[in-house]
Amino acid sequence: MKMRTLLFGLLVVVLGLAPAKAQTGGPDYKAALRAYVKKMAAYSTPPKSGHYYLHLGIETEYNPALGKPATQVEVKMQLADGKVFCESGYVAAYIDREDAFTVVHPQKAIYRSKGGKTALALQNTQSVAVLQDSLLRTSRVIGSRNVTVGGKSVQEITVEPRESVRKATKISTIRFYYDPVAEQLARVVNTYAAGHQVQRETITYHAIDFGNKRNLDRTALDRVMGGNGKLLPAYKNYTLIDNRQ
């Protein structure tokens, strides 16, 4: 998977999918989640000063027939004006207007390419919000209840995407865990169709901070290379592949 696809996918996850219809006689979950999507749309691009910070935990459980153990990864993202920094135990990306570095730890490889439009496209979540707002009109709520996640009382809302989305993504249901006090998602669980290699994917939101005032002064180049033009000591024995041509 290309880093740009991965990062864009993470932004989609952050915004979440909203249902189209609340259960009869029950709370209007549609209104709450749709309001959340609109709230996210307000943060379409990072401010000129400060940055956005996202910390996600992603657990992937595979089809038992594969005999493959579940994987867990922590993802931390920083988005500033013209910059996107993303780190995990497997892959990291440092992108700004000048450079784009993708660090693949298992391969001990670092890929360098041009930045610019890539950084600007990734930091703009407006298109994602539009996508989610269109999806919410055709999904439906098939279950809801109050549960406890991380010691907090949240609303568990199970959504069935429309048929075309189910066929395209192989996701049969999505469970949202929405914190009405904090007005943000605590967790999202995607359950895949029978026979798919992935059985279930759980995304837990450890932190979503749109008010961090600290500027990201370091460049993408600074995160990977030193002033001598060589890779930083943290990347000893890594291979640099330059794809800027």
Q: 53: domain CATH number? A: 2.50.20.10
Q: How many domains does the chain have?
A: 1
Instruction: Quick: pLDDT tens for 84-93.
Output: 899 998 899 9
Predicted TM-score (pTM) of this structure = 0.75
pLDDT at 80 over 90: no
- Considering only residues 18 and 146, tell me which one the structure prediction assigns the higher pLDDT: 146
Distance in angstroms (rounded) separating the CA atoms of residues 125 and 130: 9
Collapsed DSSP state (helix, strand, coil) of residue 25:
coil
Please indicate whether residue 57 or residue 17 has the higher confidence score (pLDDT).
57
Position 43: which residue type? Y
**Which structure tokens are listed for 64?**
């038992």
Residue 231 has pLDDT above 70, yes or no: yes
Residue 115 class from Cβ within 10 Å (0-12 exposed, 13-18 middle, 19+ buried)?
A: buried
121-178 tens-digit pLDDT: 555 555 455 545 555 556 778 888 899 988 889 989 888 888 888 888 898 998 888 8
> Edge to edge, what strands does the sheet with 83-87 contain?
140-149, 152-160, 171-179, 184-192, 198-212, 51-62, 71-80, 83-87, 91-95, 99-104, 109-114, 239-242
Structure tokens at 74: 């922590």
Band (pLDDT 50/70/90 cuts) for residue 245 is: confident
Q: Could you list the residue range(s) of the whole structural domain that residue 128 is in?
A: 3-242
Q: Given this model, what pLDDT does residue 27 score? A: 57
Matching residue, tokens 């867990």? 72
The pair of three-digit structure tokens given for residue 98, joined into one six-digit string: 């000048």
| Average model confidence (pLDDT) across the chain | 79
